[in-house]
Amino acid sequence: MKLLFRSLLIGITVFTLALPAFAQLDPGNFDIIQNGKTVGEIFVPQRKPGQIKYVEHWVLFRDYVYPGSNRSLNTSIKASRQRHVSETDFFTRVPWGPGYRYVRIDVTDTQILQGR
């Protein structure tokens, strides 16, 4: 569990560095690409303007590699041609098989640093 959390934290950090000033994903559909190959899909449901709590759904295919010290691994997230219109649609149609992983990210996006 500790290794999974650490790997996910590293992945999110690498992902965050590749995005513009804000770390959150806009609502929509995204592909996770590693070295030119699609290795996962992300769905972010619609939310109200200014909403600070929302969820992201990630499905990591069996060949997804958590970013780490392997500097030859090029990981990016790009808008997808896939158009899931709801969470139900995403869970019904996203690829799934042995070795796949589901990651649910519960986000709180605020300009207040906890503890200050």
Residue 114 lies inside a defined structural domain of this protein: no
Q: What is the pTM of this model?
A: 0.75
Residue 59 lies inside a defined structural domain of this protein: yes
Mention every residue, 6+ apart, whose C-beta is less than 8 A from residue 67. 10, 11, 14, 73, 75
Q: What separation in angstroms does the CA of 23 have from each of 17, 43, 81, 107, 110?
A: 8, 15, 21, 10, 11
Q: What is the pLDDT of residues 38-54, one digit of tens each?
A: 999 999 999 998 899 99
Mean per-residue pLDDT, 67-79: 88
Predicted confidence band at 1 (pLDDT cuts at 50, 70, 90)? low
Residue 116 lies inside a defined structural domain of this protein: no
**pLDDT over threshold 90, residue 8:** no
Query: Total domain count for the chain?
Result: 1
Residue 90: helix, strand or coil by DSSP?
helix
Residue 44 lies inside a defined structural domain of this protein: yes
**pLDDT over threshold 90, residue 90:** yes
Query: How much is the mean pLDDT over the chain?
Result: 83
Residue 8 lies inside a defined structural domain of this protein: yes
Report the distance separating Cα 109 and Cα 111, nearest Å.
7
Residue 19 lies inside a defined structural domain of this protein: yes
Domain that holds residue 31: 2-108
Residue 115 lies inside a defined structural domain of this protein: no
What tokens were used for 44?
Answer: 């972010």
Residue 113 lies inside a defined structural domain of this protein: no
Mention every residue, 6+ apart, whose C-beta is less than 8 A from residue 36. 74
